[in-house]
């Protein structure tokens, strides 16, 4: 297909995994490249996670990928070969269809062979989704072959470079100090030009993009030291090949540790699922790759094994540890008919699990997507960091030049000595710590919360929730267990409860289920014209009787008579009775309310209930109550509080309370299921204890960011003057040790972010 043609990629948001970034300026360069693409509304690049979140309106995915590659970096993609059942004349239609699918970078179709080669972004689509889309449009597709995502292992590359550097670096030092400078030059060449190649290429890339970065500093320092030594060797002067080679060697130590920390974090959530699984195929037990498990397969899970996909227990019994979902390590007994989540571990027993969701639809896959989105969070302080990072490298180069001129011309130092001071300045300055300070702290907190069953969908909520002063909490299903029961009822018309339960039997609301279970709902098959009014009630025609069941306020608006209780019943336009309900308060609700009040937060219960049960819950917890609210009424309460200057968080079930959660500064959904995508909250918690975890981790994350930035600014403020020789000869930092200090500064930021307190 000719360049520049084809359908536009009209996606609201694309997420890319960028390879090759290792300093704040790298992230800035990629950001500029992406924002330069026509149709890009905004781009946010996260150094710690190596991700770019791009908001587009009319931009193609191919253009985004090519923009990153033109800037000298790479994007993780996956290449797949599909066999498609089609006629030759359909090839153009298939090509247009492929290139119009979300997540497709580029595609080519062979009319003669019926093969298509497709390059996809594995972070926004999958091979299975592409094949399914083709099949749904009448072109049956099967996967012929697939290449693993084209993602280099940064850690592996650093280890290889480190091995070369430390094989030849000490040898260079030995040869130089045994007066064999020519051999020292030869020994240092593999270190400077192979182990240090990434820095030279990065410096060239930055130059081509008319910017500077950490690579510029390292490459300039090593090449100046090495080339001057080569010239001095020819002129029979002093040489310091050891400085050039050890500079690279020491720098690689820190960078390898940093790469290990990042790779360990990125693999943490992905490692929740096993690599292999046992399934029944044609009556035989077969071991397959976990990514080959399909909906409808029967998984065989033994004690100690991890469940490979979401499903329902078809046979067997066992205790399953579901911390991936709830954050609680206590095993839960599962038997026939029980739902199970991929990533859970069978502690004891044996299960046959019928797979209901596999691949990207599993809970763990959704969790990984949510975590990746949260990793790209941009806290308010990041704008200041970006401005500093943009000017950092040019400033350091200027300081190094001034250092050389001052020592050589003003203080009369020999050229070699002045040059060593300038090289030390270049080697000591570290923009990486600045670039990692914010994203690394956020990344660690998001992963730590995920391990506790708290899914942060919007990473910026970590910062916002810290400032919340009012928590508005839904009652039914949030503070209470969501399993109400009828404790008393009054019938003004005989049979009113049977009619009410018949209509309620068609609703999935917890209150409706309680009424239907209490009175049987035996006439539900005769219900016609059923309607559900979210937050108010239900209506329907049973036989020839018009029945409305709902909040007393709702009944009062539509029927004659006085409506009482928690739920009222109306038959043929007149109040026919009412019910009183009881819904047990969750044990952790008192703990959460006590915690929130203990840290000075205001707590308000917002509920659609208008009966006495709401008052009992509020008085028992000792909090304010606003009752009789519709879903829109809850949202209006949130807007009112925000209008008064409050920072508001709304805690609800994430589905019925979606409007209020979107209106709040932070929406927190209490998840009762495993479909993350359906919950509207910025944060999803498995239990109310997760709210406490979120608040504590929020304070930790923001504090870590501030401490990381203080370290990064303080390090550069102290070490650069020392490297320039400000306290020489009392304190002297040679270029190799300056480079070691520089690389370790970013390691310290990473390790400090990982520290639990």
Could you tell me how far CA 471 lies from the centroid of its own chain? 24
Which one, of 256, 238, 252, lies nearest residue 197 by Cα? 252
> Roughly what angle, to the nearest 10 degrees, separates helices 735-754 and 241-270?
10
Tally the residues of the chain: 757
474 is catalytic: yes
Separation of alpha carbons 376 and 737, rounded Å? 33
Instruction: Output phi, psi for 184, to 5 deg.
Output: -65, -40
Helix and strand tally (H, E) in the chain?
24, 28
DSSP 8-state code for residue 544: T
**Residue 294 three-state SS:** coil
Cα of first residue to Cα of last residue in the chain, in angstroms, is 55
Residues 6+ apart with CB under 8 A from 136: none
Separation of alpha carbons 580 and 564, rounded Å? 9
User: Which segments of 178-240 does DSSP mark as H helices, in order?
Assistant: 181-190, 197-208, 214-234
DSSP 8-state code for residue 494: T
Separation of alpha carbons 443 and 438, rounded Å? 9
Separation of alpha carbons 325 and 343, rounded Å? 9
User: Which segments of 406-495 does DSSP mark as H helices, in order?
Assistant: 415-428, 431-451, 461-464
**Residue 367 three-state SS:** helix
Residues 6+ apart with CB under 8 A from 229: 181, 185, 239, 240, 241, 244
Instruction: Output phi, psi for 312, to 5 deg.
Output: -130, 135
In the beta sheet, which residues pair with residue 357? 310
Q: Please pick, among 63, 215, 373, 474, the residue that the annotation labels catalytic.
A: 474
DSSP 8-state code for residue 191: I
> If residue 140 lies in a helix (H) or strand (E), which one and from where to where?
none
Separation of alpha carbons 719 and 737, rounded Å? 11
> Roughly what angle, to the nearest 10 degrees, separates helices 241-270 and 214-234?
150
What is the side-by-side strand order in the sheet with 141-146? 104-110, 115-120, 78-84, 141-146
Q: Which residues are tagged catalytic?
A: 474
């Amino acid at each position: 297909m000719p360049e520049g043609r084809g359908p536009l990629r009209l996606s609201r948001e694309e997420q890319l995994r960028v390879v090759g970034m290792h300093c704040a300026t790298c992230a800035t360069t990629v950001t500029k490249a992406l924002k330069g693409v026509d149709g890009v509304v905004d781009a946010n690049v996260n150094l710690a996670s190596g991700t770019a979140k791009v908001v587009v309106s009319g931009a193609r995915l191919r253009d985004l990928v090519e923009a990153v590659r033109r800037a000298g970096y790479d994007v993780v993609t996956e290449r797949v070969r599909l066999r498609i059942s089609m006629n030759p004349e359909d090839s153009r239609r298939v090509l247009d269809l492929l290139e119009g699918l979300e997540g497709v970078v580029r595609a080519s179709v062979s009319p003669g062979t019926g093969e298509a080669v497709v390059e996809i972004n594995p972070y926004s689509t999958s091979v299975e989704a592409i094949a399914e889309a083709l099949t749904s449009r009448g072109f049956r597709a099967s996967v012929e072959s697939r290449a693993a995502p084209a993602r280099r292992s940064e850690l592996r590359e650093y280890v290889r470079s480190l091995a070369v550097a430390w094989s030849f670096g000490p040898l260079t030092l030995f040869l130089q100090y045994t007066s064999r400078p020519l051999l020292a030059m030869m020994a240092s060449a593999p270190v400077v030009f192979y182990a240090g190649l990434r820095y030279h290429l990065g410096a060239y890339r930055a130059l081509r993009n008319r910017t500077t970065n950490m690579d510029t500093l390292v490459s300039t320092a090593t090449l100046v030291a090495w080339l001057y030594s080569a010239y001095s060797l020819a002129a029979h002067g002093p040489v310091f090949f050891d400085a050039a080679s050890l500079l690279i060697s020491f720098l690689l130590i820190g960078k390898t540790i940093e790469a290990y920390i990042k790779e360990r974090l990125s693999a943490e959530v992905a490692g929740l699922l096993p690599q292999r699984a046992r399934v029944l195929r044609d009556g035989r037990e077969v071991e397959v790759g976990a990514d080959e498990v399909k909906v409808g397969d029967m998984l065989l899970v033994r004690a100690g094994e991890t469940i490979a996909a979401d499903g329902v227990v078809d046979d067997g019994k066992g205790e399953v540890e579901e911390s991936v979902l709830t954050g609680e390590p206590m095993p839960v007994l599962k038997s026939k008919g029980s739902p199970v989540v991929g990533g859970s571990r069978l502690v004891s027993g044996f299960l046959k699990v019928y797979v209901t969701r596999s691949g990207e639809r599993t809970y763990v896959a959704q969790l990984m997507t949510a975590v990746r989105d949260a990793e790209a969070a941009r806290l308010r302080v990041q704008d200041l960091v970006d401005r500093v990072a943009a000017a950092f490298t040019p400033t350091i180069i200027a300081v190094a030049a001034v250092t050389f001129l001052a020592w050589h011309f003003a203080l009369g130092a020999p050229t070699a000595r002045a040059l060593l001071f300038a090289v030390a300045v270049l080697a000591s300055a570290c923009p990486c710590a600045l670039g990692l300070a914010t994203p690394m702290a956020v990344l660690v907190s998001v992963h730590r919360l995920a391990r506790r069953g708290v899914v942060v969908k919007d990473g910026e909520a970590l910062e916002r929730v810290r400032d919340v002063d009012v928590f508005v909490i839904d009652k039914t299903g949030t503070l209470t267990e969501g399993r109400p029961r009828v404790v008393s009822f009054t019938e003004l018309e005989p049979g009113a409860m049977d009619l009410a339960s018949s209509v309620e039997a068609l609703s999935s609301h917890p209150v409706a289920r309680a009424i239907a279970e209490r009175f049987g709902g035996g006439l539900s098959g005769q219900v016609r014209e059923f309607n559900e009014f979210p937050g108010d009630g239900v209506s329907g025609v049973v036989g020839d009787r018009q029945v409305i069941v709902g909040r007393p306020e709702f009944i009062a608006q539509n029927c004659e008579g006085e409506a009482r209780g928690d739920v009222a019943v109306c038959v043929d336009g007149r109040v026919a009775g009412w019910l009183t309900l009881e819904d047990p308060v969750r044990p952790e609700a008192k703990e959460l309310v006590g915690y929130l009040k203990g840290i000075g937060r205001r707590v308000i219960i917002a509920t659609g209930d208008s009966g006495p049960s709401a008052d009992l819950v509020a008085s028992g917890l000792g909090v304010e109550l606003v009752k009789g609210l519709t879903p829109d009424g809850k949202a209006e309460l949130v807007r009112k509080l925000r209008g008064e200057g409050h920072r508001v968080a709304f805690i609800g079930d994430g589905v019925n309370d979606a409007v209020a959660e979107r209106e709040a500064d932070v929406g927190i959904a209490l998840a009762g299921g495993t479909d993350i995508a359906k919950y509207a909250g910025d944060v999803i918690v498995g239990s109310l204890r997760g709210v406490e975890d979120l608040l504590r981790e929020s304070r930790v994350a923001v504090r870590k960011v501030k401490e990381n930035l203080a370290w990064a600014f303080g390090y550069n403020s102290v070490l650069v003057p020392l490297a320039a020789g400000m306290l020489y000869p009392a304190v002297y930092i040679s270029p190799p040790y300056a480079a070691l200090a520089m690389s370790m500064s970013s390691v310290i930021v990473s390790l400090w972010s990982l520290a639990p307190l």
